[in-house]
Structure 1
Amino acid sequence: METFSSIECFVRSAEVGSFAEAARRLSLTPAAVGKSVAKLEARLGVRLFQRSTRSLTLTEAGHLFLGEVSSSLHTIQNAVANLASAEGRPAGTLKVSMGTVFGRLYVVPLLGEFLRRFPAINPDWHFDNRQVDLIAQGFDAAIGGGFELPQGVVARKLTPAHRVLVASAEYLAARPVIVEPDQLKDHDGILIRSPQTGRVRSWQLTSRTQQHNPLALKARMTMSDSEAACATAAQGLGIALVSMPFAVGYLEAGTLQRVLPDWYVDDGNISIYYAEHKLLPGKTRAFVDFIIEQFAERGWVQRFSAV
């Protein structure tokens, strides 16, 4: 058991690059983690880390050892957690990351039903529009779109991530009718700044017949959030390019109208992400299956599609 604990200390330290952060996640002291890793190195007869006052990096032997033991450790931990669940039901703290507004509009309303089914699970939900490192930051799952898929992480598609052009009836009535994408260059654009890079991306419009055209909309203003862009467009201040999950409520209420309704931006998928394990923790499996089920039952796949 002592060796198992030492391996756990080693793996956590390697994942986060710090004895102090590993100690925080393991509810130990940094000294205890460092001592445990030193014992493991003495037992193996090799140095696993290069240590300095500012950094902790794996040696070549450390890289090899991590590749051998990491997945097995997670499998054992998940097996223990599943067996320890309350009366065989999924249990424990469920740490999930999701976009702030998307989570509030579509995931939080599902919480009551989720807890009725799985009362032994304790949600620990984080709302942030930036991509998180699932493994290093200790998340069980994340919901979002447009993320690069790191090694060891899998994604299950929830819905297409389409963006559409919207404006108020008042804005459109005061200007010539827009029938071609090139005509957008003469209009005030409300564009979204990436929370990851801080930049406004260059978008490619796609038509229902799969034609392509660069988005020529000039930036009159920029926002970091699609909901804010919708609210701004509703004031008649310009044409916004926004994600469908945020636009759909305004479109159904008639507050906004689609501009060039046969055109949209294909930004991949909104997915639920989780670490790839041979034995997925019961709490994570329950949450993933529940979210996929709810998106299908509520018709959000079709509702969020721009085509």
Structure 2
Amino acid sequence: METLANLEAFIRSAEFGSFSEAARRLSLTPAAVSRNVAMLERNLGIRLFHRSTRKLSLTEAGETFRLAIAENLEGIQAAIAGIGGAGNEPAGTLKVSMALTFGTMYILPLLPGFLQRYPQIRPEWHFENRRVDLVTEGYDAAIGAGFDLGTGLVAHTLAPAHVIAVASPVYLKGRSLPEDPTGLQQFQGIVQRSLRTGRLQQWTMRNAAGEEKAGHLPVSLAVNDPAAMQEAALLGLGVTMLAVPDVLPALETGRLIQLLPEWYADAGVISLYYSTRTLQPAKTRAFVEWVTEAFRNQRLAERFAGGRR
């Protein structure tokens, strides 16, 4: 009878195409994972992987074996977790990706309380303005908008992702405010150039009545980072379009003013993404619940809405 360790090492190595990544996910050394797989191959009398210095891939027999045991293995893991999980404290490295501005403003402040409650969790948080691949890059979770929901990924909605037009009181002094989004053409515009596509970002805005109008800004200044856009607006360089979470503190203190309070661009939702391909670790479940509770207590979904506040 094969041990659970050998089978787990095989399934995770097949899933990630790497002994090293499988080892990280199983909290083992690469040598231990390789040894477990080799023992399984020896016991079965078949080669499960093609090995090279660059790539690890399944043989035909390996793929057949993987398909035969994958679901059964997860059922066994779930049963074990269900029996013993109640007394197990969430622990281990928690690798999470999030945008720099959003993460430092809304997620990082949750860390002291989280670590006090779960002292055995070691956060490894990556602040980056890109959409990561949770499975292949080994992330436990990611927070953002617009991720592709591949097989085994789930998105837990936290709040709307609404984009609004803002400018500093100094810049707006003596200027007539627009009546609708088409009036933004009269201002100097601070526009984002996408790092992913290289295109200048322009938005179509909507109101509560369902009307839609182009909210295009003249390109007086182009930058590639939301934090730089906000800083340029604070310096009085023009009007910019930013997600509400990025500018909320400046709006609440009066350092920025929302133009067109009835109008916003809908960029989707801010979600917490995590994998369900394998049994969800206790550390990930604890993080999801902690963030969800914080968003509810702080009424962030309501505060992030782009309509009149």
CA drift of 1:286 comes to 1.8
Aligned to 2:166, the other structure's residue is in SS state strand
Q: CA deviation at 1:39?
A: 5.4
Query: Which residue of 2 is the match for residue 170 of structure 1?
Result: 170
Alignment-derived partner of residue 120 in structure 2: 120
Residue 96 of structure 1 and its aligned partner are, at CA, apart by 2.0
Q: What is the CA-CA distance between 1:212 and the residue it aligns to? A: 1.5
Match of 2:305, SS state, is: coil
Q: CA deviation at 1:231?
A: 1.4
Structure 1 equivalent of residue 281 of structure 2: 281
Which residue does 2:305 correspond to in 1?
A: 305
Matches within 5 A, 1:71-86: 71-74=71-74, 76-77=76-77
Instruction: Give TM-score, length-normalised by structure 2.
Output: 0.83
Q: 1:218 to 1:74 in 2, by over 3 A?
A: farther
Q: 2:177 touches 2:259 (CA, 8 Å); kept in 1?
A: no
Offset, 1:141: 1.8
Q: Which residue of 2 aligns with 1:223?
A: 223
SS state at 1:124 partner: strand
1:242 lines up with 2:257 in the alignment:
no
Q: Secondary structure at the match of 1:262?
A: coil
Aligned-residue CA RMSD in angstroms? 3.1
Instruction: Please give the alpha-carbon distance, in whole angstroms, between the structure 2 residues aligned to 1:197 and 1:59.
Output: 38
How far apart, in 2, do the equivalents of 1:60 and 1:211 lie?
56
More displaced stretch, 272-281 vs 19-28: 19-28
Counterpart residue type for residue 29 of structure 2: L
Q: 2 CA distance for matches of 1:61 and 1:194?
A: 45
Structure 1 pair 75–226 and aligned structure 2 pair: CA distance change class (3 A): farther
1:62-95: per-residue Cα shift (whole Å, max 9, x none)?
Answer: 5554445445545555665777779433333322
Offset of residue 239 of structure 1: 1.2
Unaligned runs of 5+ in 2: none
Aligned partner of 2:111: which letter? L
Once residues 174 and 129 of structure 2 are traced to their aligned partners in structure 1, the CA distance between those partners, rounded to angstroms, is: 34
Note the C-alpha offset of 1:106.
0.8
Distance 1:64 1:264 in 2: 52
2:179 alignment counterpart: 179
Using the alignment, how far apart are the partners of 2:79 and 2:120 within structure 1? 17
Report percent identity of matched pairs.
46
Stretch of structure 1 that moved more, 4-13 or 165-174: 4-13
Q: Return the offset for 1:187.
A: 2.9
Partner of 1:157: 157
**How far apart in 1 are the matches of 2:81 and 2:248?**
40
Equivalence for 1:28? 29
Q: Structure 1 residues 191, 20: CA separation in 2 closer, same or farther (over 3 Å shift)?
A: same
When residues 22 and 182 of structure 1 are mapped into structure 2, their CA distance, relative to the original with a 3 A threshold, is: same
Please show how residues 46-57 of structure 1 align to structure 2 within 5 Å. 48-50=48-50, 54-57=54-57
Count of residue pairs brought into register by the alignment: 306
Residues 196 and 149 (structure 1 numbering): CA distance in 2 closer, same or farther, change over 3 Å?
A: farther
Deviation at 1:296, TM superposition (A): 0.7
In structure 1, list runs of 5 or more residues that go unmatched: none
Q: Report if the CA contact (8 A) 2:162-2:244 is conserved.
A: yes
Provide the TM-score with structure 1 as the length reference: 0.84
Q: 1:194 to 1:116 in 2, by over 3 A?
A: same
2:165 maps to a residue whose letter is L
After TM superposition, give the deviation of residue 300 of structure 1 in Å: 0.8
For 2:172 and 2:60, locate their aligned partners in 1 and report how far apart those are by CA, in whole Å. Answer: 62
After TM superposition, give the deviation of residue 36 of structure 1 in Å.
Answer: 4.9
Are 2:203 and 2:214, in contact at CA under 8 Å, matched by a contact in 1? yes
Q: Relative to structure 1, is the Cα distance of residues 242 and 71 closer, same or farther in structure 2, using a 3 angstrom cutoff? A: farther
What is the SS of the residue equivalent to 1:218?
coil
What is the rounded CA distance, in whole Å, between the counterparts of 2:252 and 2:69 in structure 1?
52
Structure 1: distance between partners of 2:258 and 2:71: 48
Match of 1:213 in 2: 213
Deviation, 1:151, is 1.3
User: Is the Cα contact below 8 Å between 2:77 and 2:279 reproduced in 1?
Assistant: no
Structure 1, residues 175-220: CA drift from partner, whole Å, max 9, x if none? 4432232232343222234444444344321222111223321332
Kindly indicate whether the alpha-carbon contact (under 8 Å) linking 1:230 and 1:250 is maintained by their aligned counterparts in 2: no
Give a deviation string over 1:127-159, Cα, whole Å, max 9, x none: 222222222222222211121212101111111
Match of 1:265 in 2: 265
Contact 1:145–1:161, Cα closer than 8 Å, also in 2:
yes
Closer, same or farther: CA 55–120 of 1 in aligned 2, 3 Å:
closer
